[in-house]
Homo-oligomer: A and B are copies of this chain.
């Protein structure tokens, strides 16, 4: 299987590293970062590319671009792992459209295009007879979409709720366990690399809301947008609120919830019993799927990380290889 890999940040390097170290039967024929690109129909030298990126900050040549790779490269699957732009989805959205128009499968970890243009991209993929897969956009390494698609085959999903942002969960865990204030816990999260310099998207609940939109569109075809989600972040939570919850054998977690009928899309800090499966520690994520036959199924795992996200990407590539790329 030949892939073109857009994005050479921690996820892109993670995917390339896993392909190299596990000796997977996947050839990277093109790779691009924001300033350069490299193409080789026989497969680029992954080790050399990673070394060049480390030494120069570029994965390829300045004369080539991601668009060149997408439009001229020879590949079976476009793997789009550039950072999320939640407002426009660009430049990923344009690249994904171009690959689907060329009849290529697309695998992405980029939440922007999926949240903004799910129906369009799904329809384009169906028309072209190819796959559009995005397991890595929700819950990191947790195979939520695979489980919905296959593991719970025959079930009707009646709703879901979960912890979809590891940064918030880390902050709330520390406030709850150590009695830290919100500002203290956020500082600690920043120092450990669990929160970005500007943590707005995470702590305001926007990242979790985007993931809810993706799940709502995938499971129920809701054609939801970020505006449909009622969002409350954790940045106004006080240590007192956590202490009060503790007196009732409860704690507070940022819970995302979708109900299809009557339609509810909501992200908010919620008080839940400390023995509830969604009370998980640190940067973990968890999702509970409410189904008609299987009852409630909860999946817990790492919500972020270079290799963890690569795991979800490789899972999608394996799925495509098994179904479409015979002989690999």
Among listed A67-75, A113-121, A309-317, interface-contacting one: A309-317
How far apart are A24's CB and chain B's nearest CB, in angstroms? 7
How far apart are A325's CB and chain B's nearest CB, in angstroms? 13
CB-defined contacts of A146 to chain B, threshold 8 Å = 146-147, 150-151
With an 8 A cutoff between CB atoms, is A208 at the interface?
A: no
Q: How far is the CA of A17 from the CA of B322 in the complex (A)?
A: 34
Contact of A143 among B152, B300, B307, B314 (CB under 8 A): B152
With an 8 A cutoff between CB atoms, is A197 at the interface?
A: no
CB-defined contacts of A295 to chain B, threshold 8 Å = 141, 301-302, 305, 308
Indicate whether A281 sits within 8 Å of B275 (C-beta atoms), given known contacts A150-B150, A154-B315: yes
B294 touches A297 (CB 8 A): no
With an 8 A cutoff between CB atoms, is A299 at the interface?
A: yes
How far apart are A95's CB and chain B's nearest CB, in angstroms? 23
With an 8 A cutoff between CB atoms, is A225 at the interface?
A: no
Which interface residue of A277, A279, A291, A314 has the most chain B CB atoms within 10 A?
A: A277
With an 8 A cutoff between CB atoms, is A155 at the interface?
A: yes
With an 8 A cutoff between CB atoms, is A280 at the interface?
A: yes
CB-defined contacts of A279 to chain B, threshold 8 Å = 275
With an 8 A cutoff between CB atoms, is A54 at the interface?
A: no
With an 8 A cutoff between CB atoms, is A235 at the interface?
A: no
Instruction: State the copy count for this chain.
Output: 2
With an 8 A cutoff between CB atoms, is A296 at the interface?
A: yes
Chain A interface, >50% SS class? mixed
How far apart are A208's CB and chain B's nearest CB, in angstroms? 20
Indicate whether A311 sits within 8 Å of B154 (C-beta atoms), given known contacts A295-B141, A298-B300, A302-B295: yes
A154 touches B317 (CB 8 A): yes
With an 8 A cutoff between CB atoms, is A153 at the interface?
A: yes
With an 8 A cutoff between CB atoms, is A22 at the interface?
A: yes
With an 8 A cutoff between CB atoms, is A293 at the interface?
A: yes
Q: Using CB atoms, name the residue of chain B closest to A144.
A: B151
How far apart are A279's CB and chain B's nearest CB, in angstroms? 7
With an 8 A cutoff between CB atoms, is A49 at the interface?
A: no
Task: Please list the 7 inter-chain residue pairs (A to B) with the smallest Cβ-Cβ separation, ordered nearest first.
Answer: A143-B151, A153-B318, A293-B311, A154-B314, A141-B294, A146-B151, A298-B300
Besides the known contacts A150-B315, A154-B317, A294-B301, 8 further A-B residue pairs in the complex with CB atoms under 8 A apart? A24-B154, A143-B150, A153-B318, A153-B322, A155-B315, A275-B279, A293-B310, A298-B298
Can you list 23 A-B contacts (CB < 8 A)? A22-B154, A141-B297, A142-B294, A143-B152, A150-B319, A153-B319, A154-B314, A154-B317, A154-B318, A155-B311, A155-B315, A275-B281, A293-B307, A293-B308, A293-B314, A294-B302, A294-B312, A295-B301, A295-B302, A295-B308, A296-B301, A296-B302, A298-B298
